Amino acid sequence: EDKVVQSPLSLVVHEGDTVTLNCSYEVTNFRSLLWYKQEKKAPTFLFMLTSSGIEKKSGRLSSILDKKELFSILNITATQTGDSAVYLCAVLTSGSARQLTFGSGTQLTVLP
Amino acid sequence: DTGVSQDPRHKITKRGQNVTFRCDPISEHNRLYWYRQTLGQGPEFLTYFQNEAQLEKSRLLSDRFSAERPKGSFSTLEIQRTEQGDSAMYLCASSFPDRDGAYEQYFGPGTRLTVT
């Protein structure tokens, strides 16, 4: 059975701190890994990673995938209170459904 | 607004009643997904459509659940004889393949179902 595990489950930091969120996976027929941000509503798409070692970057957020060790990290630098959210990692597998298997998320709280 | 839309946003129903939710995907997306999310968990896959064809259903989708996408555009998810365990956020997502076949799924705002 496909499995996605995120750590830590929750994290509390102060504005300006840098955080690293972890996602490990065990799936068959890996296709890509996606990160989403969820703030009390629908998940919003952040990144999709398909190749190992290539960093994706958007502003203060960046992410990288290691397909050999089966994990990804999401970094957020200079955190702001608006970064407070649940960050979800999901793996897309090859196959007819193209469904996403999600981890349970990391709850990030950024204090002013 | 050209994103995924869902209706209603909230639904409170009594146990044993039937409920139906609607999802309107992004117009050019031919793939549509339903997920269920409970508190503190990530979304769990329920079912998937490519155009009007329902191609896969999760074992989470009991025979009380049925989904349709009659013309390959909007979709409905019906739950019959609701149970308290059905209380959750029901999320719809849509996608269209990019050139190398990797798919970003875009989510709607969800329908929060509470069964009393």
Q: What is the pLDDT of residues A3-45, one digit of tens each?
A: 999 999 999 999 999 999 999 999 888 888 999 999 988 899 9
B53/A contact by beta carbon, under 8 A: no
Least confident range of A73-77, A92-96, B68-72: A92-96
pLDDT (0 to 100) of residue A37: 96
- Cβ within 8 Å of B, A 6-25: none
Residue in A42, A45, A105 closest to B42 by CB: A105
Q: Which residues of B67-89 are buried (b: 16+ CB within 10 A; e: fewer)?
A: bebeeeebbebebeebeeebbbb
Chain A residues in contact with B103 (beta carbon < 8 A)? 92, 98
pLDDT of A70 over the 80 cut: yes
In this prediction, residue B7 has a pLDDT band, given cuts at 50, 70 and 90, of very high
In this prediction, residue B104 has a pLDDT band, given cuts at 50, 70 and 90, of confident
**Helix, strand, or coil here: B17?**
coil
Residue in A48, A101, A104 closest to B41 by CB: A104
Alpha helices by DSSP H, listed for chain A, are: none
Chain A residues in contact with B55 (beta carbon < 8 A)? 96-97
DSSP code string of B30-84: -EEEEEEE-TTS--EEEEEEETTEEEEE-TTS-TTEEEE-TTSS-EEEEESS--G
Average pLDDT, chain B: 90
